[in-house]
Amino acid sequence: MNKDIATPKRTKEILEKHGFSFKKSLGQNFLIDTNILRKIADAGDITKETSAIEIGPGIGALTEQLAKQAKSVTALEIDQRLLPILKETLSPYPHVNVIHQDVLEADLHSLIRDEIGEKEDMVVCANLPYYVTTPILLKLLEEKLPLRAIVVMIQKEVAERIAAKPGTKDYGSLSIACQYYAEAETVLTVPKTVFVPQPNVDSAVLRLRIRQEPPVKVKDEAFFFRLIRGSFRQRRKTLLNNLVQHFDAKENKASVESLCAEAGIDPKRRGETLSMEEFAVLSDTFFAKYGE
């Protein structure tokens, strides 16, 4: 039986053996709690029919737990120094493929087609670096990859923002962007003490179940997201003030007011009080004037 990678003792041994030092610029925090890693893998409902994609495998702690459950694991690692370590730690798992690549620069559709095959049951499972969480998640969602779910360990505050409901302080453009593509829920809170080095904040495991269809239909997706971002420009301002600023319509405040009225939405409301459905109506109404 292979010794788990993610115990404090074994992690220390591996890092010392390879003379590995953490790079702050890559946001490297390695998990040293096997129990939590298993829970992350379990949250993805991974079976022997599942192909798992991992981003930032580190020394292979989560990769190992995924490999025990999945048909295959494809892991993208940006740090070249980790490749020889991964080759050694994951040697018992021939169905793991480590690729030296930055996920933000990768052509993921081609990678899936060439490495995995698009008809597979596919899940992304990862412990994401805090500093690039949002761009990675949005890339995975916006590119409409053939995924069933995304399960990621991220900063607790960001997980709360993504899963937030209208009318709460955490609800904003990121909540709507993610919930447009997926159903979001926080499945686990993780204390900072189970990482080396310890980060400054607690983490959470977020599960995104990919939707077959978005919950709202809009005339133009890109415009819809731009309008939402504009509505949250300054959280304390009303919809009217934010949208006047966003559309550079200072001379034309009355036109913004009348479009809000046409959409049946009080322009004195704040962005965080609007549901996704209300934003969809607002977006389609504004698209007629500002969209082309």
Mark the binding-site residues for S-adenosyl-L-methionine, compressed into ranges: 29, 31, 56, 77, 102, 127
Specify the amino acid at residue 44. Answer: G
SS3 content of the chain, % helix, strand, coil (to 5): 45, 20, 35
As beta bridge partners, residue 149 has 123, 209
Residue 95's SS3 state is coil
Binding residues: 29, 31, 56, 77, 102, 127
The tokens for 137 are 């998640």
How far is it, in rounded angstroms, from Cα 91 to Cα 118? 26
Alpha-carbon distances, residue 94 vs 41, 52, 163 (angstroms): 18, 14, 36
Contact predicate 71/95, CB 8 Å: yes
Q: What are phi and psi for residue 240, nearest 5 degrees? A: -55, -50
What letter does residue 162 receive in the DSSP assignment? Answer: H
Pairing relation of β-strands 203-210 and 182-190?
antiparallel
